[in-house]
Amino acid sequence: MSARRSVTILGATGSVGRSTLDLIARPPERFEVLALTANRDAAGLAEAARRVGAKRAVICDSAFLPTLEDALAGSGIETSAGPEAVLETATLGADWTMAAIVGAAGLGPTMAALRSGRTVALANKEALVSAGALMTAAAKESGATLLPVDSEHNAIFQCFDRDRPHAVRRILLTASGGPFRTLSLEQMRGVTPEQAVAHPNWSMGAKISVDSATLMNKGLELIEAFHLFPLPPEAFDVLVHPQSVIHSLVEYVDGSFLAQLGAPDMRIPIAHTLAWPERMETPCERLDLVRIARLDFEAPDETRFPALALARQALREGGARPAILNAANEIAVAAFLAKRIGFLDIASIAAETLAAYAPPPPRTIEEVLEVDRAAREASDGIMRRFAH
């Protein structure tokens, strides 16, 4: 990597945000940090802003602004607060913006970054699931480069021949199967949030960890992949691969399969987007294939993991369905983490919300946000019947 790049990290205090900061802090002269954002973690935001010499630190929840100001007193780092300040931060024109806010809350800021026409590294899959067509259209219009951070999509991006999409037969997204891969439905009924967030291979935020346990994450990733790679819905499939060594595969019409392999460490795909189209060193563990020795594969079981089937259906039906599925899932996962509903109720609530609410396809971001709001309200009502 040669030229110095200016960067902004939306969601800097989260799992992806911290991994990004770790890479940026290693060769600090290569990066100029324009801004970091968080929701409520003022202490974590202030510490990160001082460490990487950020120009600006923005907290979404204004109630935490005094804490942020105290923590940054005397540093010369500018502070601001509120959703509008986060939106404005996304338009500062950084060469490279990491979109790593969790959930549909990241939609507005991610869209704003895309509209500024620079490079956006996208981790915030819920935004793409809810408004994929609008986001890719915005990127096309502004000339922004959208680089996938999700390990599967980053793997596909590295293997996919963008000049010859017609030569691709199928895309296989790999899934570890999560912590409950071998449990029966009956055994899954009583699992706790603590068990669900203990992912066997990856260290991630709570929401995506639960999504990995239900396989909703893989379902959302199918929809995400559909928006990133120009193939029909039926060309995307899921392959359970418990070791998480192969991060996804692209099958070509001649029978060739191209795959990307690497240690299960998010700093590898993040580094790929940070240096793209060049490459940069990372401190990540190297794969020792002799020690790994074997790679296993199995088909996903949609009876035990109905969330995957729901996502496939939402992908096929299109329109508002993916945004409704995403909103209902966010509500249900938050309720599960708060121990108000059981693990299996997450997919049931998503299914009931999809059955109860069928608006026309949203044509603008405002309409997507309205679908998201109404779907949350509907699933909140449905959830009350499941709550204990």
Residue 13 interacts with ligand NDP (CB under 6 A)?
yes
> Smallest gap, in angstroms, from Cβ of residue 1 to ligand NDP?
23
**Which residue from 52, 204, 349, 383 is in contact with ligand NDP, where contact means CB under 6 A?**
204
129 close to 315: Cβ distance less than 8 angstroms: no
Cα of 322 vs its chain's centroid, Å: 15
Helices (H), 33-116: 42-52, 65-72, 83-89, 107-115
Counting Cβ atoms within 10 Å, is residue 59 exposed (0-12), middle (13-18) or buried (19+)?
buried
Tokens 């193939």 found at: 231
Token pair in block for residue 321: 């369905």
Identity of the residue, 116 or 209, whose beta carbon is nearer to ligand NDP in the bound complex:
209
**Which residue from 101, 107, 144, 146 is in contact with ligand NDP, where contact means CB under 6 A?**
101
Identity of the residue, 127 or 134, whose beta carbon is nearer to ligand NDP in the bound complex:
127
Identity of the residue, 16 or 138, whose beta carbon is nearer to ligand NDP in the bound complex:
16
Q: E strands of the chain, at which residues?
A: 5-10, 31-38, 56-59, 78-81, 96-99, 119-122, 145-148, 168-175, 236-240, 246-252, 257-261
> Smallest gap, in angstroms, from Cβ of residue 39 to ligand NDP?
3
Counting Cβ atoms within 10 Å, is residue 301 exposed (0-12), middle (13-18) or buried (19+)?
middle
What part of residues 30-69 is at the interface with ligand NDP (CB under 6 A)? 38-41, 60
Residue 205 interacts with ligand NDP (CB under 6 A)?
yes
Residue 383 interacts with ligand NDP (CB under 6 A)?
no
* Residue whose CB is nearest to ligand NDP in the complex, by number: 14
What part of residues 128-157 is at the interface with ligand NDP (CB under 6 A)? 150
Contacts (Cβ under 8 Å, ≥6 apart) of 281: none
Which listed range, 73-81, 119-127, 162-170, 314-322, lies at the site for ligand NDP (CB under 6 A)? 119-127
> Smallest gap, in angstroms, from Cβ of residue 189 to ligand NDP?
25
**In 3D, which of 253, 222, 215, 251 has the Cα closest to residue 236?**
222
Backbone φ, ψ for residue 162 (5° rounding) = -65, -25
What part of residues 225-284 is at the interface with ligand NDP (CB under 6 A)? 266
> Smallest gap, in angstroms, from Cβ of residue 379 to ligand NDP?
17
**In 3D, which of 69, 51, 23, 2 has the Cα closest to residue 273?**
23
> Smallest gap, in angstroms, from Cβ of residue 376 to ligand NDP?
13
Residue 354 interacts with ligand NDP (CB under 6 A)?
no
Residue 202 interacts with ligand NDP (CB under 6 A)?
yes
Residue 11 interacts with ligand NDP (CB under 6 A)?
yes
**Which residue from 7, 17, 138, 346 is in contact with ligand NDP, where contact means CB under 6 A?**
17
Residue 105 interacts with ligand NDP (CB under 6 A)?
yes
Contacts (Cβ under 8 Å, ≥6 apart) of 64: 40, 41, 42, 81
Q: Contact residues for ligand NDP (CB under 6 A)?
A: 11-17, 38-41, 60, 86, 100-102, 105, 123-126, 150, 202, 204-205, 207-208, 266
